[in-house]
Amino acid sequence: MGLCDARTVIITGAGGGLGRAYALACGAEGANVVVNDIRREAAEAVCAEIRAAGGTALASDDDITQLATAQRIVDAAVAAFGEVHALVNNAGICRDRMFVSLTEADWDDVMRVHLRGHFCLANLLARRWRDAAKAGQKIDARIINTSSGAGLQGSVGQSNYAAAKAGIAALTLVQAAELGRYGITANALAPAARTGMTEQVFADMMKAPSDGFDYYDPANVAPLVVWLASAESAHVNGRMFEAAGGMISMADGWRTGPKSDKGARWQPAELGAAVGDLLARATAPQAVYGA
């Protein structure tokens, strides 16, 4: 028996890197895997690997950033497997530059793939699951989003990527709050692994060792994704996980910190001392990556 037996999982950006690792791991645990990637040959190759290991998979190269084409992914999954139980929003791109060097295209492309890409499939599936729940069906569904350490702490040279990933973290909180009543959970992870997006920036740090444990192997993150996609994770909602190597942690997000309440309107000249007091009592933020 696999952890995801009889569950259908759509994984975006699954033709390589982390997405491929997730697809292989979900397939090994009994899931019907929809491997979505804009590179059709890459998606087909991952499906072939899953089938060779005895699993079930379907390839898709439809665009995740448009509702009409995202609907085709859902329709194909339902036609092949009857229902969808989990969505892993993994696809992403980088257009790294210092903030003052960013172009409109650098900004818009990253927002489109990350934020629109996280919206379209999740919106379509959430509607489907909500309607089924309202019709009396028992729903046990999962949305698994992908943020990043850059989205949680910021990253020099990646303001567009960091902003998109921070948006995904907030999106996850709202999805969890709104959709939990229908049997849908939404969680996110910030993985650290060797992929096509990281190999140029972190090539030396993340290169595979000649022997021993390969800390940055994408396969190290996959077990957490499998578990989150399974029925076992139904009690976990609105959480942000960080995962790298053999480490998993639960991120502690923005929360109201030290307060100073005058009980009346502040005067501008009073705020220097008030803010100084708050700074003295506040926990220092984690450093921005690369700072």
- Point out which residues pair with 86 in neighbouring strands: 9, 142
Q: 3-class DSSP state for residue 217?
A: coil
Catalytically annotated residue among 60, 147, 148, 155: 148
Catalytically annotated residue among 22, 60, 147, 161: 161
| 39-54 residues labelled b (16+ CB within 10 A) or e (exposed) | eeebbbbbbebbeeee
Angle in degrees, CA 220, 169, 182, rounded to 5? 95
Distances (CA, A) of 256 to 171, 252, 259, 260, 283: 19, 12, 8, 12, 11
Active site residue 249: no
DSSP letters spanning 66-112: SHHHHHHHHHHHHHHHS---EEE--------B-GGG--HHHHHHHHI
Angle between helices 17-28 and 222-229 (to 10 degrees): 50
How many angstroms separate the CA atoms of 76 and 134, rounded? 23
Catalytically annotated residue among 165, 216, 230, 233: 165
How many angstroms separate the CA atoms of 173 and 185, rounded? 10
Active site residue 60: no
Q: How many CA atoms lie within 13 A of 76 on its CB side?
A: 19
Question: What value does the CA radius of gyration of the chain take, rounded to a whole number of Å?
Answer: 21
One-letter identity of residue 3: L
Active site residue 230: no
Enzyme catalytic residues? 148, 161, 165
